[in-house]
Amino acid sequence: MTVVTTSRKPLPELRSLARDLAFAIGAGYTTRGKAGMGDLFALDESVVIVSRSGPFFLIQVFVDGETITEITVRSFAVEERTGEIARGLFVSDRPVYEALKDRFNVAFAGETLPRRRIVFDGTQRKRYTLEVLP
C-alpha cells in the first residue's frame, strides 16, 4: 500500500489535500512529524509527498527511494461533491497520466476536463480540482 504524507510543517489545507488524495487512491496517510526520507521509505516501497514549493504545490511520487514523477500544481479548488463518489484520479494532462497509470487508479479524462487538471473525490463530500503546470 502506498503511503501519502506532507512536508514537515504543512499548512492545514495542505494536510487536508494529502489526506483526501490518500483516500482517493486507496493509500494510507501518515503524519510526517520529524520523519526523514529514510523513515518514510521504510514504511512502504511507494511514497507520495505533498508539499508547498514557493507559490506552487508539489506532489512527488517515489518508488523504492527513486523519484518517479513530480507534479507541480499551480492551485487547487475544493467544492462540495454532488452525486456518487468517484474513486481514483481523473487526469487531463497526458504526461501526468502516463507517469501515474501503472501506480494508481487513474483515468485519462482529456476529453471531459479543460486544460491540465487532476480531479478526485475526497472524504466528507469534497471534490478537488488541481491545476497542473506543464
pTM (2 decimals)?
Answer: 0.95
Alpha-carbon gap, residue 15 to 29, rounded angstroms: 10
Burial class (CB in 10 A: 0-12, 13-18, 19+), 120: buried
- Name residues whose C-beta falls within 8 Å of residue 106's C-beta, 6 or more positions apart in sequence: 88, 89, 90, 91, 97, 100
Instruction: Indicate the fold that domain 3-132 takes in CATH.
Output: Rossmann fold (3.40.50)
Grid cell digits, residue 25:
487512491
User: How does pLDDT run along the chain (134 residues), one tens digit per residue?
Assistant: 899 999 998 999 999 999 999 999 999 999 999 999 999 999 999 999 999 989 999 999 999 999 999 999 999 999 999 999 999 999 999 999 999 999 999 999 988 998 899 999 999 999 999 999 98
Alpha-carbon gap, residue 83 to 89, rounded angstroms: 17
Domain edges within the chain: 3-132
